[in-house]
Structure 1
């Protein structure tokens, strides 16, 4: 989805791409459908997320939505039902998140260069500011991840009991996670490891990960309580607008 230069982007910035990974089943939600298709103020969660990355001022040229193949028909039906006209490609995911991101990257394989953001399809409240800052930091540092400081005290587990951790040195990782396109592609040519919990963990042996301030409102919808909070935050956002 090409867009003209704007206050947030300029013609000198590298091309921008986004991969929205939506492979959830909704098990922890106790829902009758995958969580990316749950109703959030009258629209599917995934539509809210897609809309965030379709904001013209971000200048994102291509959005790739990664879904399980068996969910294609449902998404196509929702696109018709909600008249979703946002340009995007749909790619079949794999057995793991790692495999799904790799397939999304393969769709972009013909792109020689640029920046790619990987984002959870069930983080529908990410702000344009966080997205922009993550792209901008990746343009400078090669790899950038949105993260926030823990609000609570944190303890580690030991064989006997537990021990305190210095939360000032800890961060809670969010998405988007943004990378130079060829860097992320090279990282995903390596075999999958159990330690790969997100894209930053796949890349960190090749490139230091730069952290940018995230947003506590940028929550990941995983449990029923998350959906309640997301609805309240979205109502407040729409009311403020």
Structure 2
């Protein structure tokens, strides 16, 4: 069964206090997004990689590829107004009738190939495989009446990749965008498909703030990264 990954990178540098979008910031000498692409190519030389970027970032990205002599193979696709639309644009480029499709954040560069492999394996078995980790800290629900402690064992932090059967993806993304769509799992759940959670890793961070860059630098220096 053919395997695809749609890597979505449409973030800005606002919370980084940077004029450069966070996917292009340097970590250990390479833009974040290049580390992410390397991770998926390291998983499989035959994986079909679809990179979704805002069209107005194409030229800058190409200049970075030339500067860093980045030669990984992938298909570049223009993003949409929302993450939902960006994923749909990537999905629309797939012509196969069957397959497995992973969706991954471009700013999660510290992703192990073992987790990628498990996501495809479990998606083939269950139809969906969504990476998650348990909460470490206590949590409280806050509302206008105050706050109350909750049982953290009942919750999971959701990461990417989120991997699904291609036919499930096509059916779910045929819907119009809904405000409840926060990730691909919520789109598939809206269609009525069951979401199977698999074990992720705490180092699989989504780079959002300056301290995340520092952690990524440390993690990416580990053996095998």
Whether the TM-score (by the shorter chain) exceeds 0.5 is yes
What's the secondary structure of 2:47's corresponding residue? strand
1:223 correspondence with 2:179: no
Contact in 1 for aligned 2:5/2:49 (Cα 8 Å): yes
Aligned to 1:36: 23
> Aligned runs of 1:29-178 on 2, under 5 Å?
29-55=16-42, 57-58=43-44, 60-108=46-94, 110-178=95-163
Contact in 2 for aligned 1:23/1:68 (Cα 8 Å): yes
Give CA-to-partner distance per residue, 1:90-125, whole Å, 9 cap, x none.
1000111111001010111x1111000000000000
Aligned to 1:7: none
Give CA-to-partner distance per residue, 1:14-57, whole Å, 9 cap, x none.
110000000011111111200000000000000000001101x5
**Runs of at least 4 residues off by over 4 Å:** none
How many residue pairs end up in the alignment? Answer: 224
> Aligned runs of 1:173-184 on 2, under 5 Å?
173-184=158-169
Aligned to 2:5: 18
Contact in 1 for aligned 2:3/2:101 (Cα 8 Å): yes
**Uncovered stretches (5+) of structure 1, i.e. residues with no partner:** 1-13
What's the secondary structure of 2:148's corresponding residue? strand
Contact in 2 for aligned 1:58/1:132 (Cα 8 Å): no
| Distance of 1:179 and 1:59 partners within structure 2 | 20
Identify if the C-alpha distance between structure 1 residues 60 and 167 changes in structure 2 by more than 3 Å, giving closer, same or farther: farther
Which of the residues 212, 215, 223 maps onto 2:198?
212
What's the secondary structure of 1:200's corresponding residue? helix
| Distance of 2:2 and 2:91 partners within structure 1 | 15
Identify if the C-alpha distance between structure 1 residues 203 and 60 changes in structure 2 by more than 3 Å, giving closer, same or farther: farther
How far 1:61 moved relative to its partner?
2.9
| Distance of 2:183 and 2:25 partners within structure 1 | 23
Give CA-to-partner distance per residue, 1:185-213, whole Å, 9 cap, x none.
11011111111000000001321100000
Contact in 2 for aligned 1:113/1:182 (Cα 8 Å): yes
**Uncovered stretches (5+) of structure 2, i.e. residues with no partner:** none
How far 1:59 moved relative to its partner?
5.4
Identify if the C-alpha distance between structure 1 residues 115 and 60 changes in structure 2 by more than 3 Å, giving closer, same or farther: farther
How far 1:152 moved relative to its partner?
0.2
What's the secondary structure of 1:54's corresponding residue? helix
TM-score after normalising by structure 1: 0.90
